[in-house]
Amino acid sequence: MSFARLFGRSEERQPRAPAQAPAGTRVYAIGDVHGQLDQLRSLEAKIAADAAGSGAERRVIVYLGDYVDRGEDSAGTVAHLLAGPPEGFEAVHLIGNHEALLLEFLDDPESGGNWLVNGGDSTLASYGVDIEEDPPVAVPRLVHLSRRFAAALPRSHRRFLETLALRHGEGGYLFVHAGVRPGVELEAQDPQDLIWIRYPFLQSNADFGKVVVHGHTPEPEPVERENRIGIDTGAVYGGRLTALVLDGAERRYLQA
């Protein structure tokens, strides 16, 4: 037993080897879109141009969630994602907390107040639902809105939203919307934490076993730490939409 362990002091942590994408694969991860369809199209065009100079056998785009709310074109963004990624790419679509709020409103209308004040009103408008329309007598306003939204939401859009993934792994990286709970094995993470967590994760220096790539918490520029990479750069707040590029041990960024 070492002297440090004998006297209750932790061993000096050895620096971890840099995380790597799988051999032969170039990964692009896109942060929170929030209905900013023009920026998404522009960024995907930059990704396609960037990948054209790559010898990678496999190219994948991981979308980190929060496609809807706050921005002008949530409906158009969902339709665009449904149409598929640029030619030659695989696509992985993760769920964000805003998609979770939307789905909760469809299942439980009385929960919708929180969604509406967090940008759900913009999503309803993009699907042609007037939130000012008076409900019939004896029908609660939120119930009326939920019913009208369910009728306006194309079946393919709802199926897309209901089948979004919670997480995705590529080599030494784990992709989630918000983050992970420190001290909990990756396989045992609570879905609520994967789409909602902030400060216990953001402030942690723990080795999570993989480098966690996430959105959810907007910052002016990408945030790169030893254990995590945050790429929500506030596109809907006047910032830029960011894609993280991973190729072997290389990391870089594209923005629109």
Burial of 77 (0-12, 13-18, 19+ CB in 10 A): buried
pLDDT of residue 134: 87
What digits encode the pLDDT tens for the residues 98-127?
Answer: 999 999 999 999 999 999 999 999 999 999
CA–CA distance, 245 with 224 (Å, rounded to integer): 13
pTM, two decimal places: 0.93
CA–CA distance, 81 with 88 (Å, rounded to integer): 15
Can you read off the two tokens belonging to residue 179?
């983050």
Q: How confident is the model at residue 8 (pLDDT cuts 50, 70, 90)?
A: very low
Q: Residue 151 pLDDT more than 50? A: yes
φ, ψ at 230 (rounded to 5°): -100, 130
DSSP string, 113-133: HHHIIIIIHHHHHHTT--TTS
What is the CATH number that goes with domain 19-95+156-255? 3.60.21.10
What digits encode the pLDDT tens for the residues 36-77?
Answer: 999 999 999 999 999 998 889 999 999 999 999 999 999 999
Pick the closest to residue 57 from 29, 90, 30 (CA basis): 90
